[in-house]
């Protein structure tokens, strides 16, 4: 059985092989994956309401930490979509 660490390394390699980690998502105007949007909004609400806004997530502006996180999650969710069996 693979560890989470081993699985995450494999996931990253798959995303890399599919060219998902090299996309210039902001410059190319690529929309976020719907699950990235959903998860980011949940994390931001949860952080704000239950963790005293520890991470101070911001979404919607160029260079916001939430936008950057969503670009990273986009590669993951797109990899999942493309490798479903």
pLDDT in tens, 33-83: 999 999 999 999 999 999 999 999 999 877 899 999 999 999 999 999 999
Residue 17 lies in a domain: no
- pTM equals 0.90
Is residue 4 included in any domain, yes or no? no
Indicate whether 41 belongs to any domain: yes
The pLDDT of residue 74 is 98
Domain for residue 13, yes or no? no
The reported pLDDT for the residue numbered 61 is 77
Q: Give the structural domain span for 75.
A: 28-85
Report the domain count for the chain.
1
Q: Please report which confidence band the pLDDT of residue 32 belongs to, taking 50, 70 and 90 as the band edges.
A: very high
Q: What sign does the CA torsion over 16, 23, 67, 84 have?
A: negative
What is the distance between the alpha carbons of residues 29 and 27, in angstroms, rounded to a whole number?
A: 6
The reply to whether 19 falls in a domain is no
18 occurs within a structural domain: no
**Sequential DSSP letters for the chain:** ---HHHHHHHHHHHHHHTT-SS--TTTTTPPPPHHHHHHHHHHHHHHHHHSTTSS----SSTT-HHHHHHHHHHHHHHHHHHH--
- How does pLDDT run across 8-19, given as a tens digit for each residue? 999 999 999 999
Residue 3 covered by a domain: no
Asked, for residue 77, whether it belongs to a domain, the answer is yes
């Amino acid at each position: 059985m693979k560890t989470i660490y081993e699985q995450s390394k494999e996931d990253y390699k798959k995303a890399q092989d599919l060219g998902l980690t090299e996309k210039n998502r902001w410059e190319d105007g690529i929309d976020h994956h719907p699950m990235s949007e959903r998860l980011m909004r949940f994390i931001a609400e949860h952080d704000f309401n239950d963790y005293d806004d520890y991470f101070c997530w911001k979404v919607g502006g160029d260079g916001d930490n939430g936008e950057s996180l969503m670009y990273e999650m986009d590669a993951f969710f797109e990899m999942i979509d493309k490798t479903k069996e």
